[in-house]
Amino acid sequence: MGRADSLSVVEAAYARAPNEEAWLGRVAQAIAENLDGELGAAAWFIDFLPGVDAKPRCSTFVSVGSCEPRVVEYVRTLHGRDLPPPLGALVYGAAYGHGRVVAGARELMGPVFDAVNPQGHERTGATDCLAVQCFDAEGRGVALALPSPTTVRTTDRRRRTWERIASHVSAGLRLQRIATSGDLGSADALLDAHGRVCHAKGDEAAASAGRLREAAIRADRARTREGRRDVDAALGMWECLVAGEYSVVDTFDTDGKRYFVARKNAPAARAVRALSTRERQVVSLLALGHSDKWIAYELGIGEGTVAAAIHTALRKLGVKRSGDLAAVRHALGAATPEEPGS
């Protein structure tokens, strides 16, 4: 499997596909190529908030590259089991409760890995796998398993880089799901190839036009040959959400003319009556194990705004420390949901 650069994953995430399965396959292929997945990868959609949901809800399992069907089937079987609550919380918390985008499965789960995978090597031929997890504030996203014949170790630097990549993957998935057509007229704002605003829907989009133009130009610069030489700098230029609301992606009309399309794409979050929309988003991402810096990047807001929202939300939920993820998750799960339409 050839090596692709990290920005190719972001580009794949934002490229519209005819359906979700096609989108998943393309993004998984780009991820596997970037992470040197010589044995391919199994990928699936996942919906799970640790400490709130009893088990992950998984769907649309696909394989990419040279991943054998038996690997995909084994992964599907593992996620289809009904484990008793104490064991399920332990297993799924170990697998998905650490807030790591990339990690070796053994590195992530410790002794729990062998306890729940006694036939793993026999069934898949792999000793370990590189786990990739891209969640948004609703706990929805994409997971991958890249089988490995040896034990997998990851570095802090790789994890930090992939936090930003995962933010774009989650944003791209939301776009794929909300943009039911490629109709340019349905965009909140439309900019030409030079960043000039051609159309803005409503006062809010018009007020953000300058920010949208700047974001489009910076994202374009990040994707140049020069920009791609420094992946971390390029990801810094390519905003995940502009003005805390909009995803900006390029597209072409039927005449081949290039445009930048801005659509509202902020993540939803668990509807907790006591919290504001921003507080829900921030505390839900905190519950997933995301750092303040990471949350700021994925929501397109300042770290100070994140810190203030966390402080206020935890006070309302009766949680004393942001580092106590178990308490944060318990408070979210026990909080009174907002009634529909309120």
HSE on the CB side for 56, CA within 13 Å?
27
pLDDT tens track for 71-120: 999 999 999 988 888 888 899 999 999 899 999 999 999 999 988 888 88
Q: Which residues pair with 264 in a beta bridge?
A: 246
Q: How many CB atoms lie within 10 A of CB 236?
A: 13
pLDDT > 70? residue 342: no
Q: Could you report the per-residue pLDDT of 55-64, keeping only the tens digit for each?
A: 999 999 999 9
The pTM (predicted TM-score) of the whole model is: 0.93
135/194: higher pLDDT:
135
The more confident residue out of 278 and 5 is 278
Task: Tell whether the model's pLDDT for residue 337 goes beyond 70.
Answer: no
CA distances from 99 to 7, 252, 279, 284 (A): 22, 36, 19, 12
Helix (H, G, I), strand (E, B) or coil at 129: strand
**Looking at residue 340, what is its pLDDT?**
47
Report the C-alpha gap between 281 and 268 in whole angstroms: 7
**277-334 — its CATH code?**
1.10.10.10
Mean pLDDT of the 62-68 span: 96
pLDDT of amino acid 24: 98
Whole-number pLDDT of residue 91: 92
Question: Is it the case that residue 164 has pLDDT exceeding 70?
Answer: yes
What is the residue extent of each domain of the chain?
6-175, 180-264, 277-334
Here the tokens at position 32 are: 């596997």
- b/e map 307-333, b = 16+ CB within 10 Å: eebbebbbebbebeebeebebbbbbbe
Residue of 107, 106, 131, 108 lying closest to 117 (CA atoms): 106
User: Which DSSP symbol is given to 150?
Assistant: S
Quick one: pLDDT at residue 106? 95
Integer Cα distance of 220 and 238 in angstroms: 8
Predicted confidence band of residue 152 (pLDDT cuts 50, 70, 90):
very high
Q: What is the mean pLDDT of residues 14-39?
A: 95
Residue 295: CB partners within 8 Å, gap ≥ 6?
282, 285, 286, 306
Which tens digits make up the pLDDT trace of 277-321? 999 999 999 999 999 999 999 999 999 999 999 999 999 999 999
CATH code at 6-175: 3.30.450
Beta strands per DSSP E along 183-245? 189-192, 197-200
CA-wise closest residue to 20 among 251, 174, 186: 174
Q: Which of 5, 65, 3, 73 is nearest to 39 (CA)?
A: 65
